Amino acid sequence: MTSANLSAANPSSRPHAKARPLKPGAAKPAKERCSECGLCDTAYIHYVKDACAFLNQQISSLETKSHGRDRNLDDDDELYFGVQQQMVAARKLEPIEGAQWTGIVSTLAIEMLNRGLVEGVVCVQNTEDDRFQPMPVIARSPEDILAARVNKPTLSPNLSVLDQVERSGMKRVLVIGVGCQIQALRAVQDKIGLEKLYVLGMPCVDNVTRAGLQKFLDTTSRSPETVVAYEFMQDFQVHFKHEDGSEEKVPFFGLKTNKLKDVFAPSCMSCFDYTNSLADIVVGYMGAPFGWQWIVVRNETGAEMFDLLEGLIETQPVMSSGDRTQAVQNSIPAYDKGVTLPMWAAKLMGVVIERIGPKGLEYARFSIDSHFTRNYLYTRRNHPEKLAGHVPEFAKRIVGQYKLPEK
């Protein structure tokens, strides 16, 4: 089917046809809170005022559209992690070499392509000269998908390829992305002319610009030029992987927070969709034991995708232990004031917390609580007029458990 026929088959896709992407360097509608999701780089900019997560927060209504219902705020798991049918810890039986963890995201994308469920996969490779510079692509082969493995921890315009998707005539597509990208995608998905959209989400927090990432690497790693991947892990350390295969660990509490306090993008500082509420299935690590990945199946489409992993992964029930509440309360002024501990004290604190601190889902709740309280304060101080409408009800309930500074 040609792109012209595709538009004709789906008249709802045509109203944006006369819209034009913004010129390079032009101010985005969300201004400083723009997450660079890529929507404004396409003809779908026509819908940005309704679609942008930072102009029109609509997680609850889009949950109903995507999953058939919104989350149950009286269920603690759904309050924190969103609508779900199933939640497990998993890992590949045969990990993919060079993957961020065991390679479940890449494996699922390859299975969907090889089995003919989709004709293309929207994912993110890197530019030829910079392993951390994101380059969104429509992958059409397993090799294209494998070339996208490993996170690019920078703002990435994944949705910038939506015009290409429509022009290609593809009717069944998998999109891999983070929360702000997926909210915008869900808002415009009926305009693209697809017969079937699959969404594989990843949890996301604290992205940076490419310059901000370099500052973080230069400030934190012993060898920033050789870092190939890193992650903030459940043992309260940042794990860096280097070109020579070596691993470097830096305690959370030893980060030079006073130098890094302002490195994160304003969009991330005002985001409340850490767990990617609108994806069909979510794959991350935050709710799983160390060495495992965390999978949340949200709807029937996600269940269909999860079934493709049968025989390729091993699973175990999610677990939870410890108590996060005091650690979160203590983290509020630490974030706020940019507290940095001496390295010896940071290592000691890390050892103690790893032994007696939150693990599994309780660690995930710790991470959500500490970021939501920080982001609530950021929004209240910098965009007070947006606070009531921008912060979802589930986030207000989570933040309401803690005592925040009055100013």
Confidence grade of residue 341 (pLDDT, cut at 50, 70, 90): low
What pLDDT does residue 103 have? 94
Residue 154: inside a domain: yes
226 or 207: which carries more pLDDT confidence?
Answer: 226
pLDDT at 208 over 60: yes
What pLDDT does residue 333 have? 83
20 or 93: which carries more pLDDT confidence?
Answer: 93
pLDDT at 45 over 50: yes
Residue 26 β-bridge partners: none
Nearest to 97 by CA among 208, 193, 241, 239: 241
Note down the domain range covering 77. 3-207+268-319
Residue type for position 397: R
Residue 299: inside a domain: yes
The reported pTM is: 0.91
Query: Helix, strand, or coil here: 317?
Result: strand
Are the beta carbons of 165 and 138 closer than 8 angstroms?
Answer: yes
Rounded distance, CA 241 to CA 238, Å?
Answer: 10
pLDDT at 53 over 70: yes
Residue 86: inside a domain: yes
Residue 309: inside a domain: yes
In the predicted model, what is the mean pLDDT of residues 20-41? 86
Residue 216: inside a domain: no
Look at the chain and report how many structural domains it folds into.
1
Residue 387: inside a domain: no
Calculate what percentage of the chain has a pLDDT beyond 70.
93
pLDDT at 314 over 50: yes
Q: Tell me the DSSP string of 32-45.
A: GG----SGGGSGGG
Are the beta carbons of 149 and 246 closer than 8 angstroms?
Answer: no
Residue 328: inside a domain: no
What pLDDT does residue 3 have? 35
In the predicted model, what is the mean pLDDT of residues 256-279? 89
pLDDT at 205 over 50: yes
Residue 89: inside a domain: yes
